[in-house]
Each structure stands twice: as C-alpha cells, then as structure tokens.
Amino acid sequence: MKPSDALKQIQAILGVVADGVWGQKSQSALNSLIQIKEAPTWPFSMSIDGDDIVVNDVVITCFGGWGTGIADPSDNGNTASGMNTRNRPVVGVSVAMDGRQFTTLTPAEHRALDGAPIPRLLNDHGLTAWHTPVEVTIGDITFVPPDGIVDLGPALQASEPGQPHALDLTPLAAQHFKTGMLLRQLAEDFEARGSFRIIGGAKLVPA
C-alpha cells in the first residue's frame, strides 16, 4: 500500500476529503477524535515528607451527611469508597486524586479530578487505598478522622482565586474543630484554612 493510500484510508475514517494529503483539516479532525487536552493547573501542590504526603495552607470544607441526615437533599450520601454518609456515622475525609488514573469515572468526574496533584493511592491489591489515615490540622487543633479517606474531591471547580480548596471533612469530622456548631450548620457553613498529611501516602503511590 502506498503512503498516500494509507492516508486516504485514515482520512475516510476521520470524515474529511480523502485526497492523500495531510493538511490542517485532517489534523483538526484527528485532534477532535482523540480529544487532545492538557491537564488543568490546580491551585495547590503536595510535597513528600518521609512516607507521608503533605498539603499546606488550603481551604477545608464539609461534604456529605452525619449518619442520621444530610443537608443537601440532592446528595444520596454515597461515597467512592462505598460508605454512605447519610445512613451511617462516617468520620472521614475526601481527597482529590488524579482522575486520569481511574478507569471508571464519568466525564463530569474527570473534569472535576483530572490533573489533581495527589496521585491515585493504591493498596497491595492494586485497588484504591480507601481509609488511609489523614492528619488534619486547623489552627492549633490536629485530628486524624478514624475512617480516613472515604471519597474523591473536592473538585477543581470548587477553588477560587486565592482559595485553594483541597480537602473536605464529613460533618462528624469537622465537629472536632468547631465543637459549638450543629452538624447541619457544619455541613452547610464550615470553612477553614488548614493543612493535612496523608499518613504513609507516599508508599501508596505506584512506581
């Protein structure tokens, strides 16, 4: 097969004029087909400290319910780990892992998570390492929610200029930092600047 014949076949697949000459229209059609995109830039970064992954000076908010209720009626409480925050008390966190390293996400979830600074954390069985402990520090209070990582997020779209949104707590976890707030109030209004450390996270990053 001559090179021009091969090009004609490719052009026919792409739906452009099959003239055997690779021009701008052929390249644009190919780009559209494979959806060439660069990973978006996230407003925070991580560092490695020994075996841990560390993220400093970020915005921390709430997600999900508290086991006997949920503030957002459109939220069914399901998490990526399989725990349901609406139906059971979950004291955990949600961390944005790079969506490009997952094969089962929806297009919307990819838009929310692709390019996240934290890679997908994997256990010894090659599965997402749910329940990995995370040490959260806000002000002079440090707390390790016992359920660890239970979900993916917050999304890239949750951040605003100067407000890098990088961690979500369940209301029961947030209660350790704002003891005087009702759970529903925490779910709706909790926001604080802080840092977190994924304990042993560096060892869970695939080689």
Do 148 and 176 belong together in one domain? Answer: yes
| pLDDT beyond 60 at 34 | no
Contact 130, 186 (CB under 8 A): no
Model confidence band, residue 14 (pLDDT cutoffs 50, 70, 90): confident
Phi, psi dihedral angles at 53 (to 5 degrees): -105, 130
In a domain, 41, yes or no: no
Helix, strand or coil, per DSSP, at residue 47: strand
| pLDDT beyond 60 at 69 | yes
In a domain, 42, yes or no: no
> By residue range, what is the domain housing residue 173?
47-204
The 10s digit of each residue's pLDDT in 131-164 is 999 999 999 999 999 999 999 999 999 999 999 9
In a domain, 39, yes or no: no
Phi, psi dihedral angles at 71 (to 5 degrees): -75, -35
Q: How many domains does the chain have?
A: 2
Question: Within 13 Å, how many C-alpha atoms sit on residue 72's CB side?
Answer: 16
Do 99 and 137 belong together in one domain? Answer: yes
Mean per-residue pLDDT, 116-142: 97
Helix, strand or coil, per DSSP, at residue 78: strand
Q: How far is CA 110 from CA 62, 102, 141, in A?
A: 21, 9, 33
CA 1/CA 191 separation, integer angstroms:
64
In a domain, 118, yes or no: yes
Percent of the chain whose predicted confidence (pLDDT) is above 90? 78
Q: How far is CA 21 from CA 6, 31, 51, 128, in A?
A: 10, 16, 54, 46
The 10s digit of each residue's pLDDT in 156-191 is 999 999 999 999 999 999 999 999 899 999 999 999
Contact 60, 189 (CB under 8 A): no
